[in-house]
Structures are given as C-alpha cells and as structure tokens.
Structure 1
Amino acid sequence: MPTGRGIGLILAAVVVFILVNVTRVGWLLLFDSVLWGVIVVSAVMPWLAMGRLNIRRRVIGWNGDESLPGPEEGEPVKFGFDLRNESWLPLVFANVDYMIGGDLPAEAHRRMFVAWLGSGGTAASTPSAIYPTRGLHELDRVEVQTSVPFGLFRRKKRFEDSDEVLVMPKLYPVEPIQVSGLQAQSESIVQKTRSGGQVVGSRMYLPGDPWRQIHWRNTARVGQPQLKEFESDSQRTFTICFDAGADPQSASSEDNKFEDAIRIAASIGVAACRTGALARILAGPLDIVTGDFRELLDGLARLRRHGMSTVADHIETAGSDATLAIVSENDTRARDAMRGRAAVHGGGSMIMMKGYDSPDGDDSIVDQPVDDAGIRVVPCMMGEVAQTLAEL
C-alpha cells in the first residue's frame, strides 16, 4: 500500500503528465518518465524484498528458581525472538513489531530493525519483560513491514500465530520444619485407631477410578463426582483449602485476598512436596493431589474463580488429612467447619486473612476464639504474606 509520501509523488507525477500533454515540453516528459519509473520500482520492491519468513519466540530464562515450570510473577523474564528468512531473496530494511506482554503497555510493544537478512539467515533479539500477575499470558501480534527502496510503498505481513508464557504465583520461603509443624498440628488424633478401610474423606473422581467408591453425598454438595478416600490413602497428605468460588460482584479487596491465598497455598504446597509429602489443593473447581510441585504450581497458576464451592465445603471434603484452611476474617461458616472437623479428627490450622474485608481495621469478628478445639490460628494482614509465612 502507498505511504503518504508515495501518494504525494503519484499526484505529482499525474500533474506533470497533464502538463506534458498540454505543453509538449521534452524535459517535462523525461522528468515525468523518471517519476513513474521510481513509482513502479517502489511498488514492486517491497514484494520482492519480503518472502517467506518464520517467527519464533521462547522463554530463555528468568532471575528466580529455574527448577520451577515457569517464571514467578514480578520477576524479569528473558525472551528469545528469532526471525528466519526462508525466501531465496534477502529481506532488506524491515521493521519487526512484536508483543511480549509486560507490566506496562510500553513494555509490551517491541521493535527490531533488520537492514539485511540473507536467504536462510536469522535475526535474533533477547528482550526482557516483567509480568506482575500470574496466569497464562499470550504473546501475539507480530508484524513485519518494509518500504524499500524509497519509502513510497509499504508491504506489511502479520503473523497470527500466538505463543504463551505461563507465569507462576510468587513463592515465599517456607522451611520443611514449618510444614512438619503444620502437619503435626493438623494430624488426626483418631487416625491411629482406624483401620485402612475407614472412609475419611473424598477427592475428585478421575478416569479409571471405580464407580462403586463414589461418595454420593459429597458429589451432591460439590456438584462434581467425588471418590471416597480411605485412611490408608490419605496418609502423608497435606490439604490446603481456600475460597475460589465465582463472585461477579467481587471488589478489588476480594481479588487481592484471592491472589494472596494462592501465593500462600503455592509456597506451603511446594515446601510440602519437597519434604516428600503429597499436597492437595482444594479451591473452587481445583482439586489436585500431587507430590510434584511443578504440577501443583501449574494448577495454581491457571486457577480462576469458578463455581459455588466454599472453604467450608472443602474442609468437610478434606476428611482426616492434615488440613490448613485459608479463610476470611468474617467467614463464620468456614470457622464452624474447622471446629466441626477438629471435634471429629482433632487439630487443624487456619490462616486468617485480616484487613481485606475491614479496611478500617475492625477486628471484632476475628477476636472470637477459635482455638478452643485445638485449632492453630495464624493471622495474615493484607500485604504481609511474607511475614506470615516466616512466622509459621
């Protein structure tokens, strides 16, 4: 397509052509021929200068722990961007615009200039970006354009294929001894007297599980198939529950509480997996039991609010597993569920999210006693997740 300069030159050539027909002046005819020659060459060259191209974007590394399946939120991520010329003609004077996301719109848009890229050659760039939020970020919109040789016509090629980068929730240091302490606090008192065939909870049904072991009551409560979990299956499993139900009217404080709960669950869950225990996450639609911290982080990174399950529902589902509930300061139903669980199985731990629902610092609800049933309560003020986990 013609640029503004190209449109101006075409209009000038048309005017000169009209003057040539009126005046019959020889040098005007020569000048007009030169103008049309420049226009024709400028129209053809961009099509010849841009042939078949191949685009590749990939994550090279990040500043944090590279044993994780992806970068954590808030840390610099280094990308590799490769442009390969697969045409038999060179790519000349091309601008490459691409998106890699980031914390600001200015950070998302990047540009690379290619003066000359021969057939089979590769132009590479290594930009960096910071993703402030966890989740799946799409890297789309790659455009290559050239306007050789005089900038009169521009050819643009857009690549619609998008790449993705999965950003993990931020992890805070949690020592193995802290996880062991939480497990000891939450361990079932009556577990030792039970036989291996005792039903102590339920988990999400997986393909291949026997239908005769469906836990129908929990299936009706949760809204999806739940399988009975026996005492022998639940040993060395550390369950973490928090609220991930859908709330169309949720405020920003609810979003902050949800994200902090994910960070707490990820930090403790990864530490539990590294001690050799199984970690179970119960949050909204997510019900995952794994000893692989990579699988656990992948599930938490992709988690979105969905469904109507509450923390209280998850606490009842957890059974006699060592259980940690992350609850809101005004969630009395979850607190009652923890009391009921402690009365049956003994012990339990809660992280109480304070300051999210009462910005004026009203702690009257939180001051209600909850440790009379042997429940350990750890307060977590808004913005102090690191301090809370350090004091476990």
Structure 2
Amino acid sequence: MFWGALALGLVLPWLGGAFISAHRSAFPADGAKTGGRLSEGDRVNINVSLKNRFFYPRFFHSVKFASTLAGPHEAERRFFVAQLPSSSTLLLESTAEVYMRGLHHLGPVILESSAPFGLFRRRRTLAGPQTMLVLPRVYPLNRLTLVDGQDSQSDKTRVSRSGLNLAGSRPYVPGDSPRMVHWRNTARAGRMMVKETEDESDKTLHIMFDSGDVWGEGRDTNFEYAIKLAVTVADYALKNGVPVRVWGSHLNGAGVASGASAGGPLDVALTWNELLESLAIARPAGRVAVGEGLASLPTAANLFIVVSANDETAHQDLRRALVRSRESIVVRLEGFGEPATNRDAGNSPEMAGASVLTCGPGGLARTLSEIENMGQWDGSGAFIATTGKTSTGAVIQ
C-alpha cells in the first residue's frame, strides 16, 4: 500500500503537467489612451492563457513567473488553478501598476504540480521570458517661460546689419573680422572686444540633467527625478514648436524637433519617441555629458538644467555657462541622502541671472507648479521671478 501511494504520488504530478501549454500577454490597461505604449505609473494587464490539450481534466496546479514591473516588493506573480477542464482554455488575469521606467523582465511561465499528496513536485516551463520597455512618466505642464517667452525675447533683441541678433561682446581672438569690433565696449574694457551674435531662428531649448552620483532608493532617487523633470520640460517645448537638445547619461546633445520646428537650424538626431526610449533605458554615466553641454552652450541660449545640490563640479561649470545664457532655470535636487555641502548653491554668485528651485523627495509636483508660475503675479501681488536668484519658488517683491 505504501509503495503504491508513493508511486502514485510520483507519477500523477508528471502526468498532471503534460499536454498543457500557455501563452502570456502584457499590455497597457488603457491601451487606447496610451497608444499601446507603457509609461511609469500606468496600469498594465498581465494575462496567462492556459490550454489543456488532453481529454482528461487537470487539478491543483500553480502557475508563476517573476516580474519587475510592480516594483521590488512584488517580484513574483502566482496563480492557483483548482481545475483545468479537458480540452479547454483558462485565462488567468492580473493587473499591476508600473513601478518605474526601464527595461523590465518577465520571467518564464512555470507550471507546478504536486498533486495528489504533495510528496513530489514537478515543474515545467510553459512560456519563455519577455522584456517590456517602460517609458519615463511625462507630467502635465501648462506654462514654461523658457518656451512661452521666446517671442517677446526676440522682439527685444537688437539686430546687427548681418541680420543676426546682437547677444553681447567678448574679447577679440585672432581670426575675428574687423567689422565685428565692438568699439564702445573696447573703449570701456581697455582691450579689443568683438560683437557676439546669435541666429534668431535658433530657439532651441537646451535641457541637461546630472547623471553622476545617485542618491536615494528605487524610483525616489535624484537621477529618477532629474529624468522626470527633463522629459516633462522637453514634452512641453516640443508641443509648442520649440526644438530641444538634451544632455545627460548617454545623450550628448541629442537634438529633437517637433513638426512646427522642423527644418530649422537644429540638426535633428532623434524623434520624440526615440528620445522617450533613450530616457527609458538611461543609466548614471558620470558628469561628462553635462560638462560638455555647458561648455558648448551657445551664446544667449535658453537653458533648463537639473543638478544635485552637492555637485560642486556642475556648479562650477554652471558659473561659466550662465554668463552666456539668455534665460535659465536651475533645479537643485537635495535631501536624497547625499553628503551635505557647506555652500548654499541657490544663493551663490554663479547662479546670478538664473531662476533656482530646490526639489526633494516627494516634491516633484510642487517643483513643476513653481516652474509653471514663474513670470506670473501671485495672489498677494508679488511677481514670481523668471530670472534672478530664487530658491524654492521665492518671489521678488
């Protein structure tokens, strides 16, 4: 009797898993709204279709697979199947909220059977692994002075005889045309100065985010916040016909143009969808990209940059770049566990001429609201600064 039960406990789990196949599908819960693309914070349906190809019903199976979509606290999906009727198909449905951007992995679909006594367990792989690309979340933004104020900026700019905007002056270097000598500033400076010009048709918004040291955990890190801010600002600019150039991680000045700005001076390297996909897989890659971006920033350019509060190197590069920029917004990320710095970079001299905001964990919505309100009158009659030294949305009376 004992040996018979032992043999039955060994054979039945093996037979129970035979002639069963599976197909897994994963898709956004609101596919029509998202266009079939999956972004951080979206709901995703993950379904497994089990098919019994045998004329006999099956009992007491479990189906499981590993998944990183729902975050580190829900790393496995498991279903219990009490009965799978003969020659039939059973749909196992589940829904999850996508935890964060990135390339996520769904492990193989594994069928387990230990019926009837639980003495032996058989595992079968019914479907192979899958990968899913999750795009960074784009937050709604209703206003951005770096984009909305470009027409008024162009109206106020002086134009040279060559048709280019006069953006200032700089010291003479060999090779400069004598026609470009700025005689008034030469007399003031006591050395030869030449005019600096800009192309009025180039309204590119330069977007940079720090991809150096990462502080924080999971999706609440300074790097993840930097990507969310960068992609949200890029989305607003492109929707309003302003091309962007993005620096950070592996993006070294990638140009993206909307339909309204196509054919301009920007050398377009990526489409909007390609930029989203690039940011989806972006990883910390040091400060090289931002450093190069700041060093090559054109004269009188508009700049949106996100840096860590304790990144002294980025602040030094900013000091040199802001002298050449037209209008800049600097978002400092702090409170993510980074080492403290003795200097208040938001009120330091190198930030002169820039609007400086501070964003910490959980403060993304507030920071975006402050960006929207720049250049508007608040309820107390104060004007929220568009330029000048500000911190956490401070107002200039």
> TM-score category by the smaller chain?
0.5 to 0.7
What residue identity is the alignment partner of 1:82? V
Tell me the matched-pair count: 321
C-alpha displacement at 1:264, in angstroms? 0.8
Matched, 1:72 2:51: no
Residue pair 2:9, 2:115 contacting (<8 A) in 1 also: yes
TM superposition shift of 1:88 = 4.6
149 and 133 in structure 1: CA distance in 2 versus 1, 3 angstrom threshold: same
Do residues 252 (structure 1) and 219 (structure 2) align? no
What is the CA–CA distance in structure 2 between the aligned matches of 1:283 and 1:347, rounded to whole Å? 20
Using structure 2 for the length normalisation, give the TM-score: 0.65
Change (3 A) 1:353 1:177: closer
How is 1:222-237 mapped onto 2 (pairs within 5 angstroms)? 235-237=202-204
In structure 2, runs of 5+ residues without a counterpart are: 166-197, 259-270, 372-397
Residue aligning to 2:84: 116
The answer on 1:128 being equivalent to 2:95 is yes
- Larger proportion of helix: 1
Equivalent-residue separation in structure 2 for 1:187 and 1:68 (angstroms): 40
| CA radius of gyration, larger in | 1
- Asked whether 1:297 is paired with 2:258, we answer no
For residues 185 and 356 of structure 1, do their structure 2 counterparts lie closer, same or farther at Cα, with a shift above 3 Å needed? farther
Query: What is the 5 A alignment of 1:1-392?
Result: 12-13=2-3, 36=4, 43-49=10-16, 50-61=18-29, 66-67=34-35, 69-73=37-41, 77-85=43-51, 87-90=53-56, 92-93=58-59, 94-101=61-68, 102-106=70-74, 108-119=76-87, 121-148=88-115, 153-159=120-126, 161-178=128-145, 180-181=147-148, 235-245=202-212, 247=213, 251-252=215-216, 256-287=221-252, 288-290=254-256, 291=258, 292-309=271-288, 311-320=290-299, 321-356=301-336, 364-370=344-350, 372=352, 374-392=353-371
- Contact in 1 for aligned 2:52/2:85 (Cα 8 Å): no
Identity of aligned residues (%): 24
Q: 1:169 is paired with a residue of what secondary structure? A: coil
1:261-318 Cα distance to aligned partner (Å, 9 max, x none): 1111121112222223333221021243324543332221211112551533222234
The CA deviation string for residues 42-89 of structure 1, in whole angstroms up to 9 with x for no partner, is: 55444444215132131241599624831324x5x2323122427354
Amino acid paired to 1:314 = G
Moved more, 62-71 or 381-390: 62-71
RMSD (Å) for aligned C-alpha atoms: 4.1
TM-score (norm 1): 0.66
Which letter does structure 2 place at the counterpart of 1:323? L
Deviation digits for residues 323-377 of structure 1, max 9, x if unmatched?
A: 21212334444344344334345333322334457777966343213454x3333
Instruction: Note closer, same or farther for the CA distance 1:150–1:346 as it changes in structure 2 (3 Å cut).
Output: closer
In structure 1, list runs of 5 or more residues that go unmatched. 1-8, 14-35, 199-230
CA displacement 1:212-248 (0-9 Å, x = unmatched): xxxxxxxxxxxxxxxxxxx879834322101214x5x
CA distances 1:175-230 after superposition (whole Å, capped 9, x unpaired): 145552475799899896597999xxxxxxxxxxxxxxxxxxxxxxxxxxxxxxxx
Separation (CA, whole Å) in 1 of partners of 2:240 and 2:94: 36
Seen in structure 2, the aligned counterparts of structure 1 residues 322 and 365 have a Cα distance that, compared at 3 Å, is closer
- Which whole-Å CA distance do the structure 1 matches of 2:54 and 2:110 have between them? 20
Asked if structure 2 preserves the Cα contact closer than 8 Å seen for 1:188 and 1:345, the reply is no
- Residue deviations 1:121-158, cap 9 Å, x none? 32212212234332122111421123456656543202
Cα distance change on mapping 1:353 and 1:184 into 2, 3 Å: farther
Q: Helix, strand or coil for the counterpart of 1:366?
A: helix
